[in-house]
Amino acid sequence: MKNNLHQTAEKLVEDGKGILAADESTATITKRFSQINLESTPENRRSYREMLFRTKNAMESYISGVILYDETIRQNCQSGEKMTDLLVATDTLIGIKVDTGAKSLSLFEGEVITEGLDGLRERLYEYKQIGASFAKWRAVISITDKTPTDYAIHTNADALARYASLCQENGLVPIVEPETLMDGDKSKHTIDRCYEVTSKTLDIVFAKLIDAKVDLKGIILKPNMVIAGINALDQATEIEVAEQTLKCLEEHMPDSVPGVCFLSGGQNDVDATKHLSIMNKMKETDIKLSFSYGRALQQSALITWGGKDENMLEAQQAFEHRAQMNSLAAKGEWSENLEK
C-alpha cells in the first residue's frame, strides 16, 4: 500500500500538472453562482462542473487530479455516465473533500476548528470504493493581534494528523491543508507576521503527522503562500512573496514530502500564477511546487459561461487558458505577455 500512496502523491505533482479544486460546498458555490445571477440547483452545479471536466485538453495536459464535493462524486452527467468516469477517461486522479467545515472554537473568540472526524473511517472506505485516490482536509488559521493561539494551531494540527492517518489506512493520499487566511488585520498581517505564523503552523503540523505515524512520502502539502494580508497597509513585492515562501518551506517542511500544491487564497488569477512561476524560477532545490487552485482556475470560466449553454465553448477556452498558464508556472516558464 505504501508504494501506491507514493505513486499517487508523485502523480499529483507530475511536471507541469496541478490540482483543480472543484470541491466548493453548496453554500460556497451558491455565492459564486450569485455573481452570474444563477440559481444554485443540483442540475446547474452538475452542468457547470461537467463543462470543466469535459475540457479535454486542459484535463489531459495540465490537471493531475480534481478535488470533488460529496454531491459531485455521486452525480451522473447529463448523458447518464458517472461524473467520475469523465475524470478516469482523461487519466485524472479523483479526490474528495472530507472535512465538514470550520466551526467556532469553543471559548476562543475569532478562531475555528475544522470538523468531520466522526465516521471518517467509514466515509473514506466508501469514497475509495467509488474511485477516489486522494482526499483533502482544510484547517483555518487567522491572523489578528490576538490570534492565532497555540491552542488553535495544536487542535487543528491534531485533527489534520488524525485525518491523514485515516486516509493512509484506507489507501488514500491525504492533502494536508493548513491555511493561514489572507484577510487579517490591516496593520498586523504583514508578510513577516505571515511568515512567523505559517512557519510555526507547519512545524506543529509536521510534528503531529510524525507522531501519528503518517508516511510523509504519501502526502501532499497544500499551504498558503507567505504573503501580506489582502487589506494590509504594507504589501510585499512579488519577489518577496516568492523568497519568503521558499525560505519557509525549505526550513519548515521535511524533505520527504513529495510536493507542494499551493492554495490561491484571496489572490487574483494572474497573481496566483505569477507568484508560483517566480518561485519555480528561483528555487535552488528539486522541490516540486505546483497548484491546487479553485477560484483562480475557475473564475474566468464561470463569468464567461454565465449559466448559458451557448457560452460553453468560450468558457472552456477560458478554463483551458488558466490551466495552461498555471502549468507553465509550475515549470517556471510563465510570462506576463502570455496573458494578453
Catalytic residues: 177, 222
**Grid cell digits, residue 88:** 478516469
**Grid cell digits, residue 103:** 466551526
Q: What CA–CA distance (Å, rounded) separates 132 from 291?
A: 19
Q: How many CB atoms lie within 10 A of CB 121?
A: 12
Q: Is 285 strand, coil or helix?
A: coil
Closest to 204 (Cα-Cα) out of 182, 181, 183, 178:
178
Q: How many CB atoms lie within 10 A of CB 213?
A: 10
Measured CA angle at 245 (ends 241, 247), to 5 deg: 120
Does the N-terminal peptide bond of residue 254 adopt cis geometry, omega within 30 degrees of 0?
no
Q: Is 95 strand, coil or helix?
A: strand
Q: What CA–CA distance (Å, rounded) separates 209 from 218?
A: 12
CA dihedral 66, 72, 73, 78 (to 10 degrees): -110
Maximal CA-CA distance, the chain: 53
Closest to 238 (Cα-Cα) out of 247, 229, 226:
226
Tell me the sheet residues that pair with 22: 68
Closest to 84 (Cα-Cα) out of 229, 92, 240:
92
For residue 65, count CB atoms less than 10 angstroms from its CB and return exposed for 0-12, middle for 13-18, buried for 19 or more. Answer: buried
Q: What CA–CA distance (Å, rounded) separates 147 from 157?
A: 15
